Amino acid sequence: MDDSIVTAKGTTDGLVLRIDSRVDESGILNGVRSFIESRKKFLFGNEVALEWVGGDPQEGVEPQLKSLLCDEFNMKIRQGALQSEMEFETTSMEDFLPTEESLFSKLDNYDEANAKVLVTTLRSGQKIESEHSIIIFGDVNSGAEVVSGGDVIILGTLRGVAHAGAYDETGGGRVIVGITFQPTQLRIGSTISRGDGKPHKSSGVPELARIDGASIIVEPYSVKTMTGLIRGSV
């Protein structure tokens, strides 16, 4: 069977099967069956959306196709047109784990190609500033300051002052992430929150600070929150 009747692409919303509507019904059904059969590992039980190349399909084709996907391959059909800009063509299904791919494609676009990466401990009196995000493999001690136009990510203990989204009043949705949070002060955009002066008892898990309404909130770091923030939907 000829695979070119069917191609797959990844989008931020998941997997899309693109099917050539100009082929006849049995051609489409056989094409899709063999396409999925040869990539069962990735596709079986997954959710896909359908996109027709070459105009709407002939009447009766779509219901047939749906029952093939749902009954035979235990897949789900995602409704709704996909208007995402961030699509990429896949050459092989091997590069293609829908959820992770879609995250990475979003991250690619997330302008951090110029992030400043430091492997050092920032000590009292030292200050790092960058218009881009800053990633530090080390501690930021009391009396040290990190100022970033993007996010601040500290793979260590934050004891000093961290400022994310520094050149945007609103903070631009930027966040501060640290393995251990004991900050003197957190700033995002023009919002400032200061420690209570008492030695902060660390929650024992990595934490994330972000703007919520008019103030900065600190919560346990989770991939879900972070990706939600990147997508701008939190």
Partner 1 sequence: MTLNNGSKKSGGKIYVVTSGKGGVGKTTTTASLGAALALRGQRTLVVDADIGLRNLDVILGLENRIVFNLVDVAKGHCKPAQAIIKSKKSNNLFLLPASQTDDKDVVSEEEVKSVLDQYRREFHYILVDSPAGIEQGFKNACSGADSALVVTTPEVSAIRDADRVIGLLAAKGIEPHLIINRIDAEMVRKGDMLSVKDVQEILGIDLIGVVERDDQIIVAANYGEPVVYNPKSKAGIAYQNIAGRLCGEMIPIEDVLSDTLWGRLGKRLGIG
What does the binding site for partner 1 look like in residue numbers (CB under 8 A)? 121, 123-126, 139, 141-143, 157, 159
DSSP class of 69: I
SS3 (DSSP) at 145: strand
Q: Which is nearer to partner 1, 126 or 227 (CB)?
A: 126
CB of 152 to partner 1, least distance (A): 19
CB of 123 to partner 1, least distance (A): 4
CB of 108 to partner 1, least distance (A): 34
| Nearest by Cα to 126 from 139, 138, 143 | 143
Q: Which is nearer to partner 1, 93 or 118 (CB)?
A: 118
CB of 141 to partner 1, least distance (A): 5
Q: Which is nearer to partner 1, 47 or 129 (CB)?
A: 129
Can you read off the two tokens belonging to residue 56?
Answer: 């709407």
Provide the β-strand partners of residue 218: 209
Helices (DSSP H) in the chain: which residue ranges? 25-37, 40-43, 61-67, 73, 98-108, 223-230
CB of 122 to partner 1, least distance (A): 8
Q: Which is nearer to partner 1, 15 or 146 (CB)?
A: 146
String of DSSP letters for 175-230? -EEEEEE--SEEEETTEEEE--SSPPPP-SS-EEEEEETTEEEEEE--HHHHHHHH
Q: Which is nearer to partner 1, 46 or 157 (CB)?
A: 157
CA dist list (Å): 63 to 18, 69, 70, 72:
16, 10, 10, 13
CB of 136 to partner 1, least distance (A): 13
Q: Which is nearer to partner 1, 159 or 187 (CB)?
A: 159
Phi-psi map region of 19: left, alpha, beta (phi>0 left; psi -120 to 50 alpha): beta
